A and B are shown apart, each in its own frame.
Chain A
Amino acid sequence: MNLYEYQGKKLFQKYGIPTTQGIVINKDQENDYIYLQELMQGLSFPVVLKAQVKVGGRGKAGGIKIAKNNEEFMKYTKQIFSMEIKGVKVNKILIDQYVEIEKEFYMSFIIDRTSSKTVFIFSPVGGVDIEEVAEKQPEKISKKYLDELDLFDFQIREAILSVYNENLDHAKKIESVALKLYKLYKENHCILAEINPLIISKNEVLALDSKIITDDNAFYYIDDELEEDEERSVLEEEAKKQGLAYVELNGNIGIIGNGAGLVMYTIDLVNLYGGKAANFLDIGGGARADKVKQSVQLVLKNPNVKGLFINIFGGITRCDEVANGIIEAYEEKRYDVPLVVRLQGTNYEEGKRILEKLKEKINFELTESAEKGAEMIVSFVRNRE
């Protein structure tokens, strides 16, 4: 899970990492003038308004503004709430105290897939995209791969001092932040815990921004409070409750398959034949009829879906279970979208026999080939347009 900046900063506070203490306003408070008036009375200008979105490039897109008075505050609030940053609507603004920046650093702990180790990354060039620094000034980046089970203080010290020793008092304070960030990274099962920039202001260190990504596999360790603010569509939310691996895309052909790779492939096939997939849905291995039924119902709730392609290669998953699930879904409700089912593998004959009766009811084709199936559904949908 990708956390908002303000959520990350709450975690920073919990772990004793010095950061700004901001206030969050929601989009539904945008027109609540009494609330905003009260809020402004409590602020000491200038303040920084920061759009809360989980995509990069927010500053460049104009999602960060400095307001010097009430007028500017109202103006920028409206402006930011009306923005879309890389297609993401702004629903929250963080109001932070403005601070003078004397120096900016970069700091993160990240799980490195290639070495299967934690890496500590530190740079005295902060406030910019770290990948850019890596390209243009690689000598300004220090990376420490943690080979042992535990982190030792001296490893962090070595990493910091190898690229920054101008001010040892600052370096010492940076080390203390790094150790706290490591604790946060471990206890919250982070894949990434990043402070960029970590700044020096009036001789003190301060985390001005946060980027925290936690491991979805460790959801039972994660605070429920953080979970509530996840950016999900209504159907993604419903899918999560039903335990279905569902991702919404922007096309019009619904996709269901067994196995993450096969579903990705099915989406690619539909695109290859000129169509566009509306979603990703993996029923997993060994799914029973009721799960298939739920999946069909969920995908067809999306009003954009003009055709459904179900691609099953049966191993542990049995074709007859899948067929029964499809029939159950279509018996409960009359869906008026064409359906193509590709079945192969375990209990294929039985599945085929069960599905035959669908032909009387709807525009339906059964095939043994995924490639043919994709071609068929694309042409069905095209003919209806």
Chain B
Amino acid sequence: MGILVDKTTKVLVQGITGKEGSFHTQRMLEYGTNIVAGVTPYKGGQNFQNIPVFNTVSEAVKKIGPIDASVIFVPPTLAAQSIIEACLNGIKLIVVITEGIPQHDMLKVHYYLRKYGCKMVGPNCPGLATAGQSKIGIIPNSVLEPGIVGLVSRSGTISYEILKLLKDSGLGQSSVVGLGGDPLIGLRFKDVLEMFLEDEQTQAVVMVGEIGGSDEEDAAPVVSKLIKKNKPVIAFIAGRNAPEGKRMGHAGAIIMGKSGKPEYKIQKLQEAGAIVVDTINVIPKTILQELSKINVGK
């Protein structure tokens, strides 16, 4: 059982007929994700890989019945509306892949998420997966392998690389969540770490942070809880050499004045008991060492 999804989770794809949407729907189906419907306005009535396409989310829910999760592949100017549409139609988990959504649009989105109690992952993220069961988003299928490590990350490519290292080392992964590189995101480190705390399959956690914002240090109390529960936390922070005031690709990766500096994040995570690594290639080895210490302790 994964922390957010499993093989029974019914998934809707918004923007299913677009270039990105259709490509990744194909990959998700190959992984075994239970995709039940797609939405593209005014393309209703078509089928994509035997998946029915509807004009609106409301139409999809009427025909298919309740839907658990939606994944958004809609261009940035329209994406906020699509998220709100999913939210108003009772979908409780919304995964937003789109990059470049204006922040003022996201302020509106967050108002509706609060009001209707919906969870959002992203935007500007690779999505999430429960290894061996279901994948929602664009994480390459080839790097996923069921196992014991939970991964939560603000960076797509680095997480793919770590997933591969975990797969090759035989540790594998329990659940994976890509939080997204934007300033205003849905689930944050602390939310996902809380889920790993309760998840039986997860025996160790890797968190990949980066400069900007305060989500890493805000998660420090949950890191302490994980350590107390004998679940080691390995952390990595990207952007240690980034200059102040410059946006490093991700809209959220920017140091402004005192806020968002890597030294502070690293210090707070270390104080909470996380092992902060300088390079990612040592992550599997570090996890194995920590797990063996715990076993000796038992």
Contacts and interface: CB of A to CB of B under 8 A. Distances in A.
B18 to A, nearest CB: 14
Nearest to A281: B249
A344 B161 contact: yes
A189 B103 CA distance: 8
Interface residues of A, number: 53
B246 A247 contact: yes
Contacts of B184: 111, 113, 116
A145 B157 CA distance: 35
Given A111-B183, A114-B214, A249-B243, A265 B251 contact: no
Given A247-B246, A269-B279, A259 B156 contact: yes
Interface in A108-160: 111, 113-114, 116-118, 131, 147-149
B66 interface: no
A304 B218 CA distance: 39
Given A56-B257, A258-B157, A264-B210, A218 B104 contact: yes
A345 B140 contact: yes
A237 interface: no
A111 to B, nearest CB: 6
A271 interface: yes
B106 interface: yes
A271 B156 contact: no
Nearest to B103: A215
Nearest to A276: B241
B247 interface: yes
A366 to B, nearest CB: 17
Interface in A224-266: 245, 247, 249, 257-265
Given A264-B239, A346-B140, A371-B279, A216 B158 contact: no
B155 A261 contact: yes
A106 interface: no
B157 A271 contact: no
B157 A259 contact: yes
Given A113-B214, A261-B210, A245 B238 contact: no
B253 A260 contact: yes
A285 B73 CA distance: 14
A217 B246 contact: no
Contacts of A117: 107, 110
A215 B142 CA distance: 36
A189 B106 CA distance: 11
A259 B103 contact: no
Interface string B266-293: 0000000000001111000000000000
Interface of B: 76-77, 100-104, 106-108, 110-111, 114, 138-140, 142-143, 153-161, 164, 181, 183-184, 208, 210-211, 213-215, 218, 238-243, 245-253, 257-258, 278-281
12 contacts: A116-B107, A117-B110, A149-B111, A217-B251, A218-B103, A258-B157, A263-B248, A264-B239, A265-B280, A280-B242, A282-B249, A315-B139
List the 9 shortest-distance A-B pairs measured between CB atoms, nearest first.
A261-B155, A259-B157, A260-B249, A218-B102, A116-B110, A262-B157, A264-B239, A264-B238, A315-B140
